[in-house]
Homo-oligomer: A and B are copies of this chain.
């Protein structure tokens, strides 16, 4: 009879223990994930240290008496600028810095002008004029943020414009030394942005252009591997000779998924890359837009692989002898076209016109023709045995036919845009 009385207390204790254990497990998992992330890409850790460093340096304005007396409480703006402007890549930091400085300048001058007009028009009208100017300019600037061409490059600048304009013009109603306020705000912001730019460019810089470039070449290699893997997978069922370690192969096969999902990253990177000065092998006027085009044609190619993959997992499979009939030429086409993609990746990597590329394209085209010849010989294959036999496999023949034409489609489709964009690139570099 004592047991039930003792239970509630022990239950609560047990529950608490479980709760704490669960919480600890969650925290532990979170930390583990964070650790993996850091190990996976140490540059992220370096970026964090850079942010900490920049903030510590900028807070010296508070610790050193002579510096503090120069800028006063406005040193806060320098800190704020560092926090807001410091981004992972050089291009992003530069774009935000320039946007911030330009937006602040423009808005500051405008606000001082509006304030001067308002102060001339008497005490009663002052708040009305200031208020309506804030309303109008804020609405207009917000509207420009919807315009695509502004949104891509000057979104942050427009926001800073609204912010500075309303701050300066509204506080002008209370603060006497408005010009000093605007001047101090501008100078502290310039100090902050300058510090950010110096730190981001000198301490282990991460260039958006470099990242974009690495992403594109990596994706090209993945695409080539997937194409190879997919076709091999399709014909491998038949002979079973190509079996290698399962997980590794699955990873290769799924490589094209990265290509499908990297559109947004490519676009932001290309956008930031345009802000970057010349660095490494990239000139100032490097044709970043070409990379977006290459990305688009790679995505087209990945769609084809996706469709091909659908055929592999479809339950209707072609009979063995048909597969064997076309397997050689199909494998040749896929290996040729993937080697073309790889060669293109090398071309982009070295930024030199490859002498092999034309031969490879030629080889690929001849392989495609060979495959088509193989396909044309199909009817003979079916009509040569006795008629009664030939009609059974026919209904399953459609599947490989589909996959075959899909196999032949991607090279044809991908080569035309890829070669043109790649040749454009190589001509410039």
Q: Residues of A at under 8 Å CB distance from B? A: 30, 33-34, 37-38, 44-45, 47-49, 51-53, 55-56, 59, 62-63, 68, 73, 75-76, 79-80, 83-84, 127, 130-132, 134-136, 138-140, 142-144, 146-147, 159, 162-163, 166-167, 170-171, 173-175, 261, 263-264, 300, 303-304, 306-307, 310-311, 314, 372, 375-376, 378-380, 382-383, 387, 390-391, 394-395, 398-399, 401-402, 404-406, 409, 412-413
4 additional A-B residue pairs with CB within 8 Å, beyond A49-B139, A304-B307: A51-B139, A76-B167, A83-B166, A311-B409
Number of this chain's copies in the assembly equals 2
- A303-B306, A405-B402 given; A51·B383 CB < 8 A: no
Chain B residue nearest in CB terms to A44:
B146
Establish whether residues B409 and A170, one from each chain, have CB atoms under 8 Å apart when the complex forms. Answer: no
A47:B142 contact, CB within 8 angstroms: yes
Separation in Å of the A194 CB from the closest CB of chain B? 18
Query: CA separation between A55 and B167, bound complex, in Å?
Result: 10
14 A-B pairs in the complex with CB atoms less than 8 angstroms apart: A34-B143, A47-B142, A48-B143, A49-B139, A59-B166, A73-B175, A76-B171, A261-B263, A310-B413, A372-B395, A378-B394, A398-B401, A402-B405, A402-B409
Cβ of A331 to closest chain B Cβ, rounded Å:
18
| List of 5 A-B pairs having minimum Cβ-Cβ separation, nearest first | A402-B405, A52-B139, A379-B394, A376-B395, A52-B135
Given A73-B171, A142-B52, A166-B79 in contact, is the A33-B147 Cβ separation under 8 Å?
A: yes
Residues of B near A147 (CB, < 8 A) are: 30, 33-34, 37
Q: Do residues A134 and B52 form an inter-chain contact, with CB atoms below 8 A?
A: yes
Report B-chain residues with C-beta under 8 Å of the C-beta of A399: 405
Chain B residues with Cβ below 8 Å from A382 are 379
Asked if B62 and A146 make an inter-chain contact with CB atoms under 8 angstroms apart, the answer reads no
Residues of B within 8 A of A76 (CB): 167, 171
- Summarize A's interface: helix, strand, loop or mixed: helix
Given A76-B171, A79-B166, are A143 and B44 neighbors across the interface (CB < 8 Å)? yes
A84 to B163, Cβ gap below 8 A?
Answer: yes
Measured CA separation A250–B47 after assembly (Å): 48
Q: A147-B37, A264-B264, A401-B398 are in contact. Are A68 and B304 (CB under 8 A)?
A: no
Q: A68: which B residues are within 8 A, CB to CB?
A: 174
Please judge, given known A-B contacts A79-B170, A264-B264, A402-B402, whether A48 and B140 are in contact too, CB under 8 Å. Answer: yes
Please measure, in the bound complex, the distance between the C-alpha atom of A52 and the C-alpha atom of B138, giving whole angstroms.
5
Cα of A33 to Cα of B151 in the assembled complex, Å: 14
Tell me whether A405 and B401 are in contact (CB under 8 A).
Answer: yes
Q: Given the complex of chains A and B, what is the CA–CA distance between A34 and B140 in angstroms?
A: 10
Nearest Cβ on chain B to A65's Cβ, whole angstroms: 10
Q: How far is the CB of A173 from chain B (nearest CB, A)?
A: 5
Min CB gap A285→B, angstroms: 22
Contact A405 B409 (CB under 8 A): no
Contacts of A49 in B (CB 8 A): 139
- Whether B83 and A144, one on each chain, are in contact in the complex, defined by CB atoms closer than 8 angstroms, is no
Most buried by B among A73, A79, A80: A79
Q: Are B409 and A394 in contact (CB under 8 A)?
A: no
Would B375 and A398 count as touching, CB distance under 8 A? yes
Whether B84 pairs with A159 at a CB distance below 8 angstroms is yes
Q: Which residues of B contact A73 (CB under 8 A)?
A: 171, 174-175
Known: A79-B166, A143-B45, A307-B303. A55 touches B138 (CB 8 A): yes
CA of A399 to CA of B404 in the docked complex: distance in angstroms?
10
CB of A34 to closest CB in B, whole Å: 6
Q: A159 and B83 in contact (CB under 8 A), knowing A48-B139, A52-B138, A401-B401? A: yes
Known A73-B171, A135-B55; contact A63-B127, beta-carbon cutoff 8 A:
yes
| B413 adjacent to A167 (CB under 8 Å) | no
The docked-state distance in angstroms from the alpha carbon of A166 to that of B379 is 77
**Whole-angstrom CA separation of A22 from B412 in the bound complex:** 43
User: Which of B166, B394, B395 is close to A55, meaning CB atoms less than 8 Å apart?
Assistant: B166
Decide: B380 and A391 in contact? CB cutoff 8 A: yes
A379 and B391 within 8 A (CB): yes
Q: How far is the CA of A306 from the CA of B302 in the complex (A)?
A: 11
